[in-house]
Chains A and B, each alone.
Chain A
């Protein structure tokens, strides 16, 4: 009932202006950090290359993104580790 009321009175959080604002916020994070999708994907590939020297990771599940909070942008990487490599095998 309350849900219905708030929709009737235009306070629905999925109203198109909130969608617009959210999309804009995401786009601007990338714009302001000056990072293009291509750059992000090549960063991802480099990360995989380096980390693979030390451990075995799930390349497909690897996520790299830019997050913003207040006036900051942070690089967030989620890298699932499958298996550690043996310590005596020094990196190439």
Chain B
């Protein structure tokens, strides 16, 4: 029996879909059977991020409304053995699916897959309720911005109210240089405010844009920092204990000086 993990954030644009794609790809690369489910009905994106947009025939609404069987709607990724996508419908809206149907769907998928990763839409309305209905665990994605952290806090409250205890946090698009200069909230600042466990930190990285342009995922890029961050997150999901990677550039004149005059 597999596990259903929902990736959510409240605010849009913080990287839910990118995170879903990378975690899914990362898990599949370790040999797990993974199904990614896009619940952003009407604004589907996971298919283009994964480069599978031209292979969609049936979607999640076709499955929940009984037009086709789950197996017919699943798209198998050719690059990664074991990675599957259940795409959202684009021409309908969030009300086309209800939480009860999602619970049934998740139960079915759990029988087949080791991990079912659900990409949640932005917002706290029906789409959110659908996305979390069948989930066993939740991952909250935020960026170091006041608006994103505030929304993450609201989401954590709603997850707790829905009995999804102990959500994990991913801090995305962190810029270590700005943190160092005091112009961006640090990891500790956000953990202090949100008071949940940290699953990982992904630094801002141009390579994410480059790989997404090509319908690929950065987690397969051995050289990039963000790829390393996603690989670490994947291993933590699998239960390994992996220390946070060092995002600071080593040494540096200012650091040495600061240490010398005792400011740090």
**Which residues of A are in contact with B by a Cβ distance under 8 Å?**
5-6, 9-12, 15-18, 20-21, 23-25, 27-28, 31-32
Contacts and interface: CB of A to CB of B under 8 A. Distances in A.
A9 B258 contact: yes
Contact of A16 (B153, B154, B183): B183
13 contacts: A5-B261, A5-B263, A12-B182, A16-B182, A17-B182, A17-B184, A17-B185, A17-B186, A21-B185, A23-B146, A24-B185, A28-B150, A28-B193
B160 to A, nearest CB: 11
Contacts of A18: 182
A31 B181 CA distance: 29
Nearest to A7: B182
A28 B181 CA distance: 25
Nearest to B195: A71
Which among A5, A6, A20 has the greatest number of chain B C-beta atoms within 10 A? A20
Given A21-B193, A24-B193, A25-B193, A10 B182 contact: yes
Contacts of A12: 182
B263 to A, nearest CB: 6
B149 interface: yes
Contacts of B183: 15-17
Given A9-B254, A9-B263, A11-B263, A20 B182 contact: no
Nearest to A19: B146
A20 B180 contact: no
A10 B177 CA distance: 11
Interface in B149-184: 149-150, 153-154, 157, 179-184
B197 interface: no
B112 interface: no
A27 B150 contact: yes
A67 B154 CA distance: 19
Contacts of B248: none
B182 A24 contact: no
Given A11-B182, A17-B189, A6 B153 contact: no
Contacts of A16: 182-184
Contact of A28 (B153, B180, B186): B153
Nearest to B151: A31
Given A9-B258, A17-B184, A32 B263 contact: no
A82 B145 CA distance: 45
Which among A9, A27, A32 has the greatest number of chain B C-beta atoms within 10 A? A9
Contacts of B180: 10
Nearest to A14: B182
B179 A17 contact: yes
Given A11-B263, A17-B189, A25-B193, 17 more contacts: A6-B263, A9-B254, A11-B182, A17-B184, A17-B186, A20-B146, A21-B185, A21-B189, A23-B146, A24-B193, A27-B146, A27-B150, A28-B150, A28-B193, A31-B153, A32-B153, A32-B157
